[in-house]
Chain A
Amino acid sequence: MPKVSQEVVIVGAGETRVGKLPGMESVQIQAWAVQEAAADCGVRVPDIDGLINLDPYAIPNSMFSSTLAEYLGLKPNFLTTVDVGGTVTAMTMLQQAVWAIESGHCEIAACVYGENTLTGRPPGAQGLALRNLLGGEEWEEPFGLHGMVTPYALLAQRYLSQYGASEKDLAEVALITRRHALLNDNAQMRKPMSMEDYLASRMIATPLRLFDCSQVSDGGGALILMSRERAQARGLKAVSIRSMAMRSTHNSVAQTPDLEDLGMAAAGRDAFAAAGLGPDDLQVALLHDAFTISVLITLEALGFAGPGEAGNYLRAGHASLGGRCPLNPHGGLLSQAHIGGMLHVTEAVHQLRGTAGRRQIPGARRAVVSGNGGVFSVCGVMVMEA
């Protein structure tokens, strides 16, 4: 059973403004996110001695952790760049930070995402198709597959056909996350969305419409970790990682297993078993929602709903604020911003500390965070607790 030390905790969460940040490069956005997270917990930036970041996707760099460390003026004892995909990258960053602090390699670690994906894209780049992230050029490009929408569209069509589900099931995810985003001042999408608006949005790759797809965003998010002892000495409210587990089954869409064999169910089983908890013990779900279909698949893989039943679960209000286990109260990747999923983790911290403002879930103590990188290629599930 994968164990995570409870003696290292998250004490700070920060995010930049999201949307368009013209004139800002990725290093400046990541630095801003670190400053926000440090300020959130009263840590001086120069006291950070561990740094873990994500290399930008739109304009990739090399050795980006030392680029950022130098910009911030840090002289870290531990630094690395992590990229396993989606919110699983954030989980892996946290795992590395916990290990590094637990083993004495550093005392205060920052984990950070951020880039200018929206304004910094190469000229002519279309939608989310920055480049073929799945690395399967030889087995994908000859068949016209380019970018991330079509891989998820293939999963979505299979889901609809296999379970007799409808586009209105997909729509529920978009509608709920949009309603939630209206309570977040730092969200890209601030206009209400109706079912009619959803159905009128243009088709991108059947069955996925524009409103099934997440935002393209400039912005960043960061977390600060330290030992529980140090957090207590400083009087900081801590959030711990009760458990995390991951499973990678493939990379390219051509190797996608059957829906029921995607790695999310296995990662969820491991994470819940390690925590000794299940869906009924959670008050908030931060599920990776780069596309609406991901949420339907994840709700079922984690046991919130039976096979093909996620649409009904959402319609019953269970995932809305005020419901059984609200989904992405911050608006998620679909309606807040797509910062790779890092803001799912910062939101979990806010909800569990009681600092989520107008969208606070009363008494939230435990959160589940899910991530799927690629096309459910790398799946991760994390249970967090205040």
Chain B
Amino acid sequence: MNTPSELIAELPQPTVDSQPFWEGCQREQLMLQHCADCGHVFYYARRLCPACGGTQLSWQASSGKGQVYSYSQVQVAFQGPHWQSQLPYTVVLIDLEEGPRMLSRWHGPKGQVPQVGQRAQVTFPEVQGQRLPYFQAEEGAAP
């Protein structure tokens, strides 16, 4: 198992749009923006609703649950030699229950890959001092 101290990442640089999202991660909450005008729930953070252009936006915590849309086990350190320690690792696209699709990293035993369609839930391992929203198999769900 990757222990948190072993994980590395290029840490996000929050913007005026995204600060509530990354702060939510520190509280272990996956925050999503909701549009009051059309009801659209979206990811990633923006200053307007990408569906209707509405600006009455609020932040609400997601259930953090969803399904694996796709995954890839990465076997090359594209970032440079300092990423060798992470190999192989798995990048996932997750379809959240609330609707949005998000890119994330699979958090599980080294070498484990999910299945397309598998139920997944968010987890917030600490990576270089910051909690990031990664995904793991949903507890109690059939793989």
Contacts and interface: CB of A to CB of B under 8 A. Distances in A.
Interface of A: 124, 126-127, 129, 136-147, 149-150, 153-158, 161-162, 202-208, 252-256
A153 B92 CA distance: 10
A155 B103 CA distance: 12
Interface in B61-82: 69-80
Given A138-B13, A144-B9, A145-B91, A126 B72 contact: no
B103 A140 contact: yes
A127 B76 contact: yes
Contacts, number: 113
B11 A126 contact: no
A150 B102 contact: no
B116 A126 contact: no
Given A161-B116, A205-B76, A253-B93, A141 B10 contact: yes
Interface of B: 9-15, 18, 43-44, 69-80, 83, 86, 89, 91, 93, 101-105, 113, 115-117, 127, 132, 134
Contacts of B101: 254-256
B70 A143 contact: no
Contact of A254 (B72, B89, B93): B93
A145 B93 CA distance: 11
A150 B18 contact: no
A137 B44 CA distance: 12
B13 A155 contact: no
B91 A143 contact: yes
Contact of A142 (B12, B15, B86, B115): B12
B44 A146 contact: no
Contact of B102 (A137, A147, A155, A254): A254
B79 A161 contact: no
A156 B74 CA distance: 13
